Amino acid sequence: MKTVRPAPGRLRRLITHTLAGSLALSLLGAPLAARAEGQLRIAEQFGIVYLLLNVAQDQQLIEKHGKAAGVDIKVEWLKLSGGSAVNDALLSGSVDIAGAGVGPLLTIWDRTYGKQNVRGVASLGNFPYYLVSNNPNVKTIADFTEKDRIALPAVGVSVQSRVLQFASAKLWGDAQYNKLDKISIAVPHPDATAAIISGGTEITGHFGNPPFQEQELAGNPKAHIVLNSYQVLGGPSSATVLYATEKFRRDNPKTYGAFVGALDEAARFISANPEKAADIYLKVNKGNTDRKLLLQIIKNPEVQFKIGPQNTYGLAEFMHRVGAIKNKPASVKDYFFDDAHIQGGS
Q: HEC states along 287-302?
A: CCCCHHHHHHHHCCCC
pLDDT for residue 35: 56
Query: How many helices and strands (H and E) does the chain possess?
Result: 15, 10
* Closest to 48 measured CA to CA, from 213, 186, 187: 213
* pLDDT tens profile 120-158: 999 999 999 999 999 999 999 999 999 999 999 889 888
pLDDT for residue 85: 86
Sign of CA dihedral 329, 335, 337, 341: negative
Question: CA separation (Å) from 78 to 60, 101, 179, 192?
Answer: 16, 16, 33, 21
Q: Any residues with CB less than 8 A from the CB of 239 and at least 6 apart, and which?
A: 49, 101, 102, 126, 127, 129, 159, 163, 209, 229
* pLDDT tens profile 261-277: 999 999 999 999 999 99
* Closest to 165 measured CA to CA, from 137, 132, 141: 141
pLDDT for residue 8: 43
Rounded to an integer, what is the distance from CA 116 to the centroid of its chain? Answer: 21
Q: Are strands 149-152 and 97-101 parallel, antiparallel or unpaired?
A: unpaired
pLDDT for residue 286: 85
The CATH class that applies to domain 8-12+128-233 reads: alpha beta
Please state, as a whole number, how many other Cβ atoms lie within 10 Å of the Cβ of residue 34: 8
> Residue 153 half-sphere exposure, CB side, CA atoms within 13 Å?
32
pLDDT for residue 4: 39
pTM for this structure? 0.82
Sheet of 74-79, strand order: 74-79, 39-44, 97-101, 240-244, 119-123
Where exactly are the structural domains of the chain?
8-12+128-233, 20-126+237-342
* Closest to 312 measured CA to CA, from 284, 336, 286: 336
Which positions of the chain have pLDDT values less than 50?
1-34
pLDDT for residue 46: 81
Q: DSSP secondary-structure letter at 141? A: G
Interatomic CA distance for residues 50 and 48, integer angstroms: 5
Q: Any residues with CB less than 8 A from the CB of 82 and at least 6 apart, and which?
A: 19, 22, 45, 100, 153, 154, 157, 158, 186, 188
CATH code of the domain made up of 20-126+237-342: 3.40.190.10
